Structures are given as C-alpha cells and as structure tokens.
Structure 1
Amino acid sequence: MNKLYGPWSDIVIGYKVIRADDGWQWVWVEPGEDNDVGAVFDLESGAYRDAARDWDENGCGVPRLTGTLKALATKLEKVGR
C-alpha cells in the first residue's frame, strides 16, 4: 500500500508507509521539508496505527485522516500484515 495518505484532497503532503530494514515505518512527506519518520514495526499495520497516533498528536484538526489510517491498520491486521 505504498500510497501517500494526506489530510487534504490535493495529496502532496501526508503519510507513506514503507519497508524498512527491519520491518515497516511511516514517513511524513512534505515538499520543501525534511521527512519525519516513525518507529519501525514488524507488521505493516503497526506502522499505519502509529501514523494515526502521530496525526492525532500533531495534526491540524483534520480527524478524517486518523480514521483512514486506523481503518487501513485494521484491514491489514485481519490478514496478518
């Protein structure tokens, strides 16, 4: 699911979950800024759930993104990812 999930419809900024050396991690992509990265998780779903947590803590009042990221995490957990 190497797609960019962002808070607004123009999707030039947002979270992307990538394969890391030891698992999966989220990356916050924002043009002109250094990327922020999350912790590494064994399962892809853990990275999506952590991205949702990060958005809850640092987001700009756009709760829909949190729900999208949590839904993706749940979907992946159901298939063992």
Structure 2
Amino acid sequence: MKKKIMGLIAIVAIATIAGYNVCASQNNMKLSDLTLSNMDALAFPEIGTGFYHRYTYQCPIPVEYKTAVSCTSGGHDECYPSDC
C-alpha cells in the first residue's frame, strides 16, 4: 500500500512540474510596434533588395578587364554595387 501511495505522489509531482513548464514556456512577450518595425527593417538589408538603375562601366588601367557597377534608386532592376 505504501508503494502505491508513493507512486501516486511521484506521478502527481511529475505532472505538476510538467504542467508548470508548459505554462512557463507559453508566456508570450508582447512587442511594441516600434520594435516590430525595427525587426522588419533589419530583416531586409538596404543594398541589393530594392529597385535600382544599374550602371556598369569599365575599370581604369591596371584593372581594365573588370567591370564596376553603380546603383541609384528608382529603377526596375536589382542591383549589387561593386567597384574596381
């Protein structure tokens, strides 16, 4: 009889601890609109994700075999700037 009572106490204790852990893990933190806006801004880098005018030009000597890229906003292309 003593073993059954101890087993029941152990089961109740484990269920209580498990229930507390589930409740504690579901504690959602509310974020402000400013924080959410900042997270959105940081999620999308500024270079290479908008629409740009893409200008290419040959690099001067001694790297004339390279092509450099310049980007200005307002176009229809994705653009990743590079230099010589």
Which bracket does the TM-score occupy, shorter chain normalised? under 0.3
- Normalised by the size of structure 2, how large is the TM-score? 0.21
